[in-house]
Amino acid sequence: MATVPITAAELSSALSEHDIVLLDLWASWCGPCRAFAPVFEQAALEHPDVLFGKVDTEAERDLAAGFHVTSIPTLLAFREGVLVFAQAGALSSAALERLITGVRNLDMTQVRHQAGLTESDEKERA
């Protein structure tokens, strides 16, 4: 699957409809963002079960601000609607592959417990 643009209006449904969501927060004027784009695109083709979303921080300023993004590119990873990774800076293809593997292997019961989330919290967010 190719990458898809994500807006604030689409974020909630993207997170609820996909087990794993990776978001690349970027801008067209950003050199490191342009360098990371082909790495992100290739990973999207190699992992069709993962939603690879692109958030244009110029068009989606409120969404970027909501995630406290101060530097781009920023990569966010969600599993079962829970933010499990956030990092500014471009990743190599090997590092992105390790991240995807790590997110797949998370014990989400343990993650929710450590984050203090309960099932009722999850149902309210859905």
Q: Which residues are catalytic?
A: 30, 33
The DSSP result for 48-63, as a single string, is: TTSEEEEEETTT-HHH
The CA distances from residue 97 to 39, 46, 84, 101, 104, in Å, are 10, 10, 15, 6, 11
The answer to whether the Cα torsion of 83, 88, 90, 95 is positive or negative is negative
89 and 60 in contact (C-beta within 8 Å)? no
28 and 81 in contact (C-beta within 8 Å)? no
